[in-house]
Amino acid sequence: KNQVEQSPQSLIILEGKNCTLQCNYTVSPFSNLRWYKQDTGRGPVSLTIMTFSENTKSNGRYTATLDADTKQSSLHITASQLSDSASYICVVSLTGGGNKLTFGTGTQLKVEL
C-alpha cells in the first residue's frame, strides 16, 4: 500500500531556532514530492515540489531535500519565526497519476517566544 509517514507528529521550538521535519514514503512508482504548509483554519499551500532527479530545493527559509534511493525527504526551516507555526504536510505523487496525491498526516509545528 502506498504510504507517506511523517515525523515527529508535533514539535515545539523557540523563535530563531532551526528545525528539520522528516518524511518517509513507500509510494511507487514515484513522480514527485511536495511539502505543503497549512495554517490553522486555512487550506494547504505549496512550499516546494521536487522530482525524483532533484536532491534539494529551497524556498526562502525552507529547504527540502530528497533521497529517492532511501525514499526519504526532509524539510529544514532556518531561523524560525512565529508565523512558521503550522502543520507541514508531505505529499507524494505517483508516476502517471499526477492527479492522485498521497498525503502524510503532517507535523504540527509550534514556534514560541
Partner 1 sequence: DAGVIQSPRHEVTEMGQEVTLRCKPISGHNSLFWYRQTMMRGLELLIYFNNNVPIDDSGMPEDRFSAKMPNASFSTLKIQPSEPRDSAVYFCACRAQWGNEQFFGPGTRLTVL
Residues contributing to the site for partner 1 (CB under 8 A)? 32, 41-46, 49, 89, 98-101, 103-106
d(C-alpha 59, C-alpha 100), whole Å:
24
In whole angstroms, how close is the CB of 46 to partner 1 at the nearest point?
A: 6
What residues are paired with 63 via a beta bridge? 58, 76
Cβ at position 67, least distance to partner 1 in Å: 21
Q: At closest approach, how far in Å is the CB of 112 from partner 1?
A: 22
Q: Which is nearer to partner 1, 68 or 103 (CB)?
A: 103
Task: Report the 10 Å Cβ neighbour count for 77.
Answer: 23
Q: Which is nearer to partner 1, 52 or 103 (CB)?
A: 103
Q: Which of 10, 3, 83, 89 is nearest to 43 (CA)?
A: 89
